């Protein structure tokens, strides 16, 4: 529920959020956590085939008000896909939206022709069938539309789903992995909706008294509801995706206790980290586990992006254990992350800029393939990029194709969970980050990867550039 409502316990838990030794103040659940279906696949001749249809429907984004929405195989959001490292995947995706779309596999290391960027747009009535080998290790990815100029509109209407990549490592085997039982997807969104149910995607019209900013968890409005989940295992793993068009979501416990973070966007940390908050910019993911003794309430703190007039704290989920098992200790090492020595890396500067309502990368508005800035590189190039935010706005920088390491955040060396692998990271107004990456495996002379702001309206307004990786 919305923390500011002040119902007994809700406001209180907020005020005592920093006192980790206080008795836990779990909020009583008044709803049930919706778990997106797991998409069934068929496997033959070593190829795993998935079928998705993007279509329109209706749902209650505001309670009691019907909105026109869209989803994959349903009317809002999409089923979760499980991919396994080493498998060959074939996707058959049919467009029944009445408009062009693409499906981008956010965070996947796949060829640009299969990546679902703007060059992969397909029309209403058509089926797009990309195929690729899963090279990624265990991590949490997601899929969503990425056509030029319509990404914000299509995502906020509900076109988004989670992808779980599994691998056969000992660490993966030691972690909870039973989907919907002890491995739980959490898709957080803050939308802008007017009182008639019309979901907004352009800033024009937000500042109206009839527009409200509902927070959704797996498609369920939690403005005045705390969802409930009964954990039948003591240890539960949560995969959190911020699929909001703009806002930052910070996940924390209402009792101020810690979350055991195990992964960032692009897989496991070197070791589990006890953290009190997990801050996710638009497009980012993280994974954590909880060893539950008592009920725990998870809160989402929604921080003002440009989309809404204020911030709020929502007690979105109360997890109640009904388990008596004693989990083994977590593996002491989850991953080996060799820090890049960037001394011989090629340096570039990527400037995030603005001219009026037009958003720019390196001075160009990426509103068409011909107008966007293009970064050209070659296979196996090692690069260090300074992402410089010359605007006063917050941006969420996302790079397709390969994961990056953070080398600097606003002039400081990263620490803690910022030493993990990322594909999406915050760049504050006037700030900068330095990131390093290697462009392995894939080249193409025609199809390009994208780099862009994941505030979806910024992307549609031009804060997007292309990346072409060629043989030489
Ligand atoms: Cu999630 Cu290029 O996007
Ligand atoms: Cu932006």
Ligand 2 midpoint to CA 285 (Å): 18
Beta-carbon contacts of residue 284 (< 8 Å; ≥ 6 apart): 241, 242, 264, 265, 396, 422, 424, 425, 454
pLDDT tens figures, 414-467:
999 999 999 999 999 999 999 999 999 999 999 999 999 999 999 999 999 999
Q: For 24-43, what is the mean pLDDT?
A: 94
**241 CA from centroid of ligand 2 (Å):** 18
Q: Which atom of ligand 1 is nearest to the CA of 451?
A: 2
How much is the average pLDDT of 54-59?
Answer: 98
459 Cα nearest atom in ligand 1 = 2
Question: How many whole angstroms from 356 Cα to the centroid of ligand 2?
Answer: 13
Question: In the predicted model, what is the mean pLDDT of the chain?
Answer: 92
Atom of ligand 1 nearest to the CA of 450: 2
Closest approach atom of ligand 1 to CA 142: 1
Instruction: Report how far residue 307's alpha carbon sits from residue 327's, in angstroms, rounded to the nearest whole number.
Output: 42
Could you tell me the pLDDT band of residue 4, with boundaries at 50, 70 and 90? Answer: very low
CA of 367 to the centre of ligand 1 (A): 15
Q: How far is the CA of 327 from the centre of ligand 1 (A)?
A: 36
Q: Binning pLDDT at 50, 70 and 90, where does residue 309 land? A: low
State percent of the chain over pLDDT 90: 88
* Tens-place pLDDT, residues 384-425: 999 999 999 999 999 999 999 999 999 999 999 999 999 999
Residue 407 CA to ligand 2 center (angstroms) comes to 21
Q: How far is the CA of 337 from the centre of ligand 1 (A)?
A: 24
Q: What angle do CA 137, 140, 144 make, to 5 degrees?
A: 120
Distances (CA, A) of 268 to 175, 398, 464: 11, 19, 28
Tens of pLDDT, residue by residue over 198-245, are 999 887 666 777 888 999 999 999 999 999 999 999 999 999 999 999
Q: How far apart are CA 74 and CA 47, in angstroms?
A: 25
41 falls in which pLDDT band (50, 70, 90)?
A: very high
Domains present along the chain, CATH in parentheses: 3-25+173-321 (2.60.40.420), 42-165 (2.60.40.420), 342-470 (2.60.40.420)
pLDDT of residue 21: 36
Q: For residue 2, what pLDDT is reported?
A: 26
Which residue has the CA at smallest separation from atom 1 of ligand 1? 106
Residues whose CB is less than 8 angstroms from the CB of residue 428 and which lie 6 or more positions away in sequence, other chains included:
389, 394, 410
Which atom, in ligand 1's list, is nearest to the CA of 144?
1
Q: Which residues line ligand 1 (CB under 6 A)?
A: 104, 106, 144, 146, 283, 398, 400, 450, 452, 454
Ligand nearest to the CA of 141: 1
Confidence (pLDDT) at 45: 86
pLDDT of residue 383: 98
Query: Which residues have C-beta within 8 Å of that of residue 78, sequence separation ≥ 6?
Result: 36, 39, 52, 71, 72, 143, 159, 160, 161
Gap from CA of 245 to ligand 2 centroid (Å):
10
- Smallest CA separation from ligand 1 atom 3, residue: 106
Mean pLDDT of 44-68: 95
Ligand number nearest to the C-alpha of 395: 2
Query: pLDDT by residue (tens digit) across 414-426?
Result: 999 999 999 999 9
Among the bound ligands, the one closest to the CA of 463: 2
Here the tokens at position 308 are 């809404």
For residue 106, the ligand 1 atom closest to its alpha carbon is: 1
Q: What percent of the chain has pLDDT over 70?
A: 92
pLDDT by residue (tens digit) across 123-138?
A: 999 999 999 999 999 9
């Amino acid at each position: 529920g919305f923390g500011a409502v002040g119902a007994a316990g809700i406001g209180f838990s907020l005020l005592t959020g920093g006192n980790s030794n206080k008795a836990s103040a779990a909020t009583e659940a008044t709803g049930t956590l919706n778990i997106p279906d797991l998409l069934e696949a068929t496997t033959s001749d070593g190829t795993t085939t998935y079928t998705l249809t993007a279509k329109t429907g209706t749902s209650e984004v505001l309670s009691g008000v019907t909105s026109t929405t869209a989803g994959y195989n349903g009317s809002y959001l999409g089923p979760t896909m499980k991919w396994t490292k080493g498998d060959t995947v074939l996707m058959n995706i049919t467009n029944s939206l009445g408009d062009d779309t693409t499906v981008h596999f956010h965070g996947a290391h796949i060829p640009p022709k299969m990546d679902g960027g703007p060059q992969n747009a397909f029309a209403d009535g058509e089926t797009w069938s990309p195929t690729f080998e899963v090279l990624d290790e265990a991590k949490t990815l997601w899929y969503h539309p990425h056509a030029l100029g319509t990404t914000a509109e299509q995502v906020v209407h509900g076109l988004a789903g989670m992808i779980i990549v599994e691998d056969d490592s000992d660490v993966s085997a030691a972690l909870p992995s039973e989907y919907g039982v002890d491995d739980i997807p959490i898709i957080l969104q803050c939308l802008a909706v007017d009182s008639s149910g019309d979901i907004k995607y352009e800033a024009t019209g937000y500042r109206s008294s009839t527009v409200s900013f509902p927070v959704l968890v797996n498609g369920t409005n939690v403005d005045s509801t705390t969802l409930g989940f009964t954990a039948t295992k003591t240890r539960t793993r949560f995969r959190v995706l911020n699929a909001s068009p703009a806002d930052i979501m910070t996940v924390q416990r209402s009792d101020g206790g810690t979350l055991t973070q195990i992964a960032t966007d692009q897989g496991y940390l070197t070791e589990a980290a006890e953290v009190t908050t997990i801050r996710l910019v638009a497009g980012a993911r993280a994974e954590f586990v909880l060893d539950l003794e008592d009920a725990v309430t998870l809160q989402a703190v929604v921080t003002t992006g440009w989309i809404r007039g204020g911030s709020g704290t929502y007690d979105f989920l109360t997890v109640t254990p009904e388990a008596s098992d004693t989990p083994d200790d977590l593996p002491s090492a989850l991953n080996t992350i060799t820090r890049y020595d960037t001394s011989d890396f090629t340096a570039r500067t990527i400037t995030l800029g603005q001219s009026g309502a037009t958003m720019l990368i390196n001075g160009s508005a990426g509103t068409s393939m011909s107008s966007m800035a293009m970064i050209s590189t070659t296979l196996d190039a090692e690069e260090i990029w300074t992402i410089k935010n010359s605007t006063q706005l917050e941006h969420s920088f996302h790079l397709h194709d390969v994961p990056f390491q953070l080398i600097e955040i606003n002039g400081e060396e990263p620490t803690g969970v910022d030493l993990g692998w990322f594909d999406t990271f915050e760049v504050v107004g006037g700030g900068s980050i330095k990131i390093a990456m290697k462009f392995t495996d894939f080249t193409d002379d025609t199809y390009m990867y994208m780099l862009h702001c994941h505030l979806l309206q910024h992307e549609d307004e031009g804060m997007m550039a292309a990346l072409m990786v060629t043989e030489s």
